[in-house]
Amino acid sequence: MRRAAAAALALLPLAACEEGDGGPTSPEPGSPSNALIDRVEIVSEPAANGTYLAGEELVFAVLVTSGDEVETTGEVFLIFDLGLASQPATLAAHEAGRLEFRYQIRRGDYDGDGVSVPEGELMFSPGAALRIGGVDIDPAIRALPADGGHRVFAHFAPGETVVFDPTLDRFPVDTLGLSGVVGCASTDDIVPIVEAVLDRNAAAAGSLWSVAYQLGNCAVLNENQPAIFLSATVREHRGDIYDLVLAYGSAATLTDPEVAANWWTLGGFVEPTPVR
């Protein structure tokens, strides 16, 4: 994914736009020249759990200091950081003082900290421009720090069948003496277990698991056991990032076979079933 993103970005020229034969335009007194980008905001919200899934749209608003109408030519991009990759959000709409950039979350995208925008400049396709009153807007933008309310989990698409793959196992199963992935019907059960393990408190984790298991609220997703991916949320506990995948498991996993289970994955427990 990083190589593909880098290749795509390499096609975008770093210069804003080409000047005419007469060289740079000098603004006239009182003209809406030297309009600056005031700030960048994320104006979209994930459908659920503070985490974007595959197919959802991430929307940025770029606010300009001038309230005059913006004139656009060609394609304009806002470069943002999504996990370890830089991605271009495309200018999709504009009005006086506001530009809107959009990016559709693709399968495989992941950002445990939340998307961010690095300090830099807007990028332009050849011949593209942003102007107010015939004068170019200054393309410089200030950084937008990572926001935990805009995390991304698109390892799988909703409705996709996934299975537990022991070769991807990152779960400290020895802590609980289990051989599979812990899953509980409610986050009220799974989150304390996960966070006790992350705190390296094996006794507390084991006690919580034992009680929840005996009550029929938690189960284990065994090797090659299928589940249907529904949603996910990316959380943080004392600096540790962990994922909760919400899925329907096998009818034998929980007391109520129709209840969805939150499987603790840490980003790598399950993978799509092979296409046949």
Q: Tens digit of pLDDT for each residue in 242-266? A: 888 888 866 455 666 666 777 765 4
Any idea of the CA torsion for 216, 218, 219, 220, to the nearest 10 degrees? -170
pTM of the predicted protein model: 0.79
Question: Is the predicted pLDDT of residue 1 greater than 70, yes or no?
Answer: no
Question: Is the predicted pLDDT of residue 272 greater than 60, yes or no?
Answer: no
Q: Long-range contacts: 206-214, Cβ < 8 Å, 24+? A: 206/175, 206/176, 206/177, 209/176, 209/182, 212/184
- Give percent of the chain with pLDDT exceeding 90: 45
| Cα 247 from Cα 236, distance rounded (Å) | 20
Instruction: Give the pLDDT band (50/70/90) at residue 2.
Output: very low
Burial, 203: exposed, middle or buried (Cβ in 10 Å; 0-12, 13-18, 19+)? exposed
Question: Is the predicted pLDDT of residue 78 greater than 50, yes or no?
Answer: yes
| Cα 210 from Cα 196, distance rounded (Å) | 13
Q: How does DSSP classify residue 213?
A: H
Instruction: Give the pLDDT band (50/70/90) at residue 229.
Output: confident
pLDDT tens profile 44-69:
999 888 999 999 999 999 999 998 99
Q: Which pLDDT does position 132 carry in this prediction? A: 92
Q: For residue 34, what are the CA distances in angstroms to 18, 37, 66?
A: 17, 10, 9
Are 272 and 156 a contacting pair, CB within 8 Å? yes
Q: Which pLDDT does position 135 carry in this prediction? A: 93
Q: Which pLDDT does position 259 carry in this prediction? A: 67
CA-wise closest residue to 229 among 182, 165, 161: 161
Q: Which pLDDT does position 258 carry in this prediction? A: 63
Helix (H) or strand (E) holding 111: strand 110-111
Q: Which pLDDT does position 180 carry in this prediction? A: 64
Lowest-confidence pick of 1-15, 93-107, 120-134, 249-263: 1-15
pLDDT tens profile 170-209:
444 556 766 667 778 888 998 998 898 888 888 898 899 8
